[in-house]
Amino acid sequence: MTTDVGDTPLHTPLFDAHVALGARMVPFAGHAMPVQYPAGILAEHGWTRDHAGLFDVSHMGQAFLIGPDHATTAKALEALIPAAILELAPGRQRYSQLLAPDGGILDDLMVSRPTDAPDGWLFLVVNAACKTADYAHIAANLPVGVELRPIEDRALLALQGPEAEAVMAALGAPVTAMKFMDTAPMTLLGSETHVSRSGYTGEDGFEISVPAVDAARLWDALLADARVKPIGLGARDSLRLEGGLCLYGHDIDTTTSPVEGGLEWSIQKRRRIEGGFPGAARIQAELANGPARRRVGLAFEGRQPAREGAEIADKQGRIVGRVTSGGFGPTVQAPVALGYVEAALAAPGTELDVVVRGKPLPARVATLPFVPAGFRR
């Protein structure tokens, strides 16, 4: 193992397991996290695409939002996010964004309505780097009778890839009937877990919230299956980039709205019409008239990747945007990137240049995702 994790990084419940596997540990969102294992990022990326990759995502924030009944709790959360939570059925999950008053994105998050909790409970998963600020923001804006309860004693594992379902079933998990964004309580190896059919790779897979004391046992049991290998942050990033998925703090942040970010699919019809969330006027105007800029995928003619911050120019040399994520796509065997450009230049096929070290690299706007999603709809 090699480490570069600063003076006082937090450890997930699986830290010792990563060290034992020879992981290269790096600081990420205040935690010591595995960026790769000895096989390397390219091998880990390919294994997840073809088989099943196991990720430690215990650094993420898990919390319950608790009210006297579902309607009360849902309306409290809808005052902070644009998704329709009132209609969220038991055992289902939705993706949304915490919004600032101007419609900028404070964080993105998952919201589920667990079937093994009282009617007024919602389960939230937020990003690691934002969780302290998220919790403070949510708690400060709740009505009387609704409370946020962070969960500090659970780990979170993600099993991703086309063989993930078979691996889970081999452990006795009743997952075959689950569809994308379903959630369910499950007993795995005697431990009470919360499982969602979702993830951040573009592949079919599951996220498993498990008591921290049982995390290593479940991790080891999953890795005992020959179809599973451990995967670090490096491949997690290349997988989500090929999947066209946003990384908070890079592709979306407080300067971007959900519409600019191409996330309008996450705003259901009722919310689009009635508003009632922060920045609603701006977002409704952008839905009606289009935003000034849009997030796009970029494909390149050559082999040189463009990194975050690179300027995007039209063919006359005028700067029209910038790259927010970029790298080499191992599955597509070519450089890929995400970035923002003026809306008039966002149509797939538009020819652009990305300026790297002062040199314009030919690029074109690509249809996202770069690799078709494997979600079980």
Q: How far apart are CA 3 and CA 180, in angstroms?
A: 36
The CA-based angle 230-13-48, given to 5 degrees, is: 15
Question: And the tokens for 65?
Answer: 């939002």
Q: How far apart are CA 45 and CA 234, in angstroms?
A: 8
pLDDT recorded at residue 377: 86
pLDDT recorded at residue 6: 47
Indicate the CATH number of 2-58+153-242 among 2.60.40.10, 3.30.1360.120, 3.30.2010.10, 3.30.2090.10.
3.30.1360.120
| Residue showing tokens 């300026």 | 355
Instruction: Could you please state the CATH topology (level 3) that the domain comprising 292-377 is classified under.
Output: Elongation Factor Tu (Ef-tu); domain 3 (2.40.30)
Question: And the tokens for 254?
Answer: 């407080």
Q: Chunked in runs of 10, what are the mean pLDDT values of the chain (377 residues)? A: 57 98 97 98 98 98 98 98 98 98 98 97 97 98 98 98 98 97 98 97 98 98 98 98 98 98 98 98 98 98 94 98 98 98 98 96 98 94
- Long-range CB contact pairs, 351-355, < 8 A, 24+: 351/315, 352/298, 352/312, 352/313, 352/314, 352/315, 352/320, 353/312, 353/313, 353/314, 353/315, 353/317, 354/298, 354/300, 354/306, 354/310, 354/311, 354/312, 354/313, 354/323, 355/310, 355/311, 355/312, 355/313
pLDDT recorded at residue 3: 43
Report the predicted TM-score, pTM, of the whole model to 2 decimal places.
0.96
In the chain, where are the structural domains located?
2-58+153-242, 292-377
Query: Residue 68 carries which DSSP code?
Result: S
**Number of C-beta neighbours around residue 205 at 10 A:** 31
**Number of C-beta neighbours around residue 248 at 10 A:** 18
CB proximity list for 26: less than 8 A, separation 6 or greater: 3, 4, 5, 32, 33, 34, 35, 233
Q: How far apart are CA 349 and CA 365, in angstroms?
A: 5
Estimate to the nearest angstrom the gap between the alpha carbon of 293 and the chain centroid. Answer: 22
